[in-house]
Amino acid sequence: MTRSSVQGEDTQEGATDALERAEAVRGDGDNGVGDTEGSTESTTEDSSEDGTGGRPAGAGAAEGPRPRRRRRVLRWTAVVLAVVLAGTAGAGYLYYEHLNDNIRQDALNLGDSKVAAPTPNAAGQTPLNILVIGSDARDSEENQQLGGARETFGSTPLADVQMLVHLSADRSNMSVVSMPRDTLLEIPKCTDPDDGEVYPASEGRVMTNQSLGHGGPGCTVATWQGLTGIHIDHFVMVDFAGVVSMADAVGGVPVCVDANIHSRDDSGHGSGLKLAKGTHPVKGEQALQWLRTRYGFEDGSDLARAKAQHMYLNSMVRVLRENATLSSPNRLRRLAEEATEALTVDPGLDSVKKLYDLSNELRRVKPERITMTTMPNRYVGARVEPTEDAEQLFRLVREDIALDGRDAKKKPDAEPEPPADPAAPDDEIAVQVRNGTRTDELGTAPGRANTVTGLLVERGFAKAVADPSVLPSEDRTVIRYPSADLEGDARRVAKSLGIPASSVKRSTDVSGVTLVVGADWREGTAYKAPESDDRTPESAEALNGADDSACMHVSPAFTWS
């Protein structure tokens, strides 16, 4: 984690002067500076609302409409980016390096387990998954002033906002999955690469926001991958101060409440948000208040807060796309300063150019193809846990299926290309069979590993053996293999049992061909692949990015006249 020593107003003013001089030779073109801003937004929340720890929130804002200046500013932006990214002006290059050094970085994944990247589609394209983390860090006076009791200063930060942004392989749609900070799950063992400290796996289930304190954001990534099976390419993390500074730098975002609201109860709990009924632009600390408000929205839960965050983010995207202009070089420079200083990213996003390239990927999706969701969950006391619908949602993301239901109807899976290494004779293929039929509602179906092993032996796989020592849990029957030289063997086993080729997966979690009998094959000797239900669960409370009519319901106990 480094920050530049290249400081000083003279350097920055020199950079701006150089960029202003370049305006004289500007050209036409829409470079979408607004979407560049959008790619660096994140979320955070207040951990002081109820004294129990951090609370989710988010970040981001946008410049209001200036239609008569739009083409001029967009042309100017093209020159700014050309000068900064190419470094053709000395001061511009120094300032670009200064911005790069503002950006903090941390390791992407601190866990031991890895999730394989998705297979490219027919056009060679792959999805992109970015985990957005809002930290409640109290490690500076500025952050302390934005919420939190004095005793929390310098305490272990919490990942109180966690949103997975999934960009489809063909860049036609985007899905966002928000996980409530109160979600109970197991945090895996994580190792801090800076000092080698090992954080053991949690003993049982704990709140997901604790993952950030197990070595950094890379442990939050490892936790998500362990829960969802989704390969995460990048993370972006921001804290309280970053939310306010970036919102101040670029303007306001319209939000709506259906009644007057003041988020403060008799005991002083609440974000302090005070708005009159209707739609209002919020920025700075008021934007932060909106994003961390729990008391006053609907039932006062973290789920209502996540809904408010989704509305804010949808509105921000619309404003950025429609009115993505900055009225002066100084405002653009300020945004660049605030954004880069606010972020912690993985090494794959550690420069202005990489962040800009990411924003170009994100900006290709129209708002009507953006879907915001909350991980389906149920209460466990005062906390929540994922439900079966959550796994359905994770599967849709894993398989790159649009959550808005507007994907073209998929053709039947084509027969995959033959493996480079063909299968060995059936009687020489070693297969381990495991019983993974356990579900949240049903216990393990007895004897399934032995039954399927018997089927394989009958069909000539003499080296098939049941492994009773491992009882995993799999919704669907799957065959895993560890390396390319065993792919042919794994496919041969699948074909002999009528298991589709799509259920044959490469994985470093196994040492040989391993068949896990899933909950879809709890009985019988003939496997029948279940029909896929590719609909987004209603319990995910999907919100379309083009929906500008959403308005938060205010609890009567938190209204005023």
The DSSP element (H or E) to which 498 belongs, if any, is: none
Residue 151: what pLDDT? 41
pLDDT digits (tens, 9 = 90+) for 99-134: 999 999 999 999 998 888 888 888 889 999 999 998
Confidence of residue 2 (pLDDT cuts 50, 70, 90): very low
Nearest to 161 by CA among 277, 326, 47, 16: 47
* For helices 9-22 and 70-86, angle between their N-to-C axes, nearest 10 degrees: 120
Which amino acid, one-letter code, is at 341?
A: E
Contacts of 381 (CB under 8 A, 6+ apart): none
Contacts of 215 (CB under 8 A, 6+ apart): 110, 190, 191, 192, 193, 197, 199
Residues 61 and 317: beta-carbon distance below 8 Å: no
Is the pTM above the cut of 0.95? no
Dihedral sign (CA 341, 47, 551, 376): positive
CA distance 425 to 416: 20
pLDDT digits (tens, 9 = 90+) for 10-20: 434 443 443 34
From the number of C-beta atoms within 10 Å of its C-beta (0-12, 13-18, 19+), residue 225 rates as buried
CA distance 431 to 429: 6
Residue 43: what pLDDT? 36
Main-chain phi, psi angles of 539, to 5 degrees:
-70, -10
pLDDT digits (tens, 9 = 90+) for 493-517: 999 999 998 899 888 789 999 999 9
pLDDT digits (tens, 9 = 90+) for 421-434: 899 999 999 999 99
DSSP 8-state class, residue 462:
T
| Side-chain-side CA neighbours of residue 235 (13 Å) | 33
Mean pLDDT of the 444-471 span? 95
CA distance 300 to 382: 12
Query: Alpha-carbon Rg of the chain, whole angstroms?
Result: 25
End-to-end CA distance of the chain: 49
Residue 159: what pLDDT? 87
DSSP 8-state class, residue 475:
S
Confidence of residue 410 (pLDDT cuts 50, 70, 90): low
Instruction: Please give the C-alpha separations between residue 380 and each of 181, 207, 376, 438, in angstroms, as whole numbers.
Output: 13, 12, 13, 20
pLDDT digits (tens, 9 = 90+) for 301-330: 888 888 898 888 888 777 766 654 455 567
Residues 372 and 178: beta-carbon distance below 8 Å: yes
> Is 418 strand, coil or helix?
coil
Q: Does pLDDT of 166 surpass 50?
A: yes
CA distance 362 to 313: 14
Residue 378: what pLDDT? 93
What residues are paired with 133 via a beta bridge?
A: 162, 237
What residues are paired with 111 via a beta bridge?
A: 190
CA distance 77 to 22: 10
Q: Does pLDDT of 479 surpass 80?
A: yes
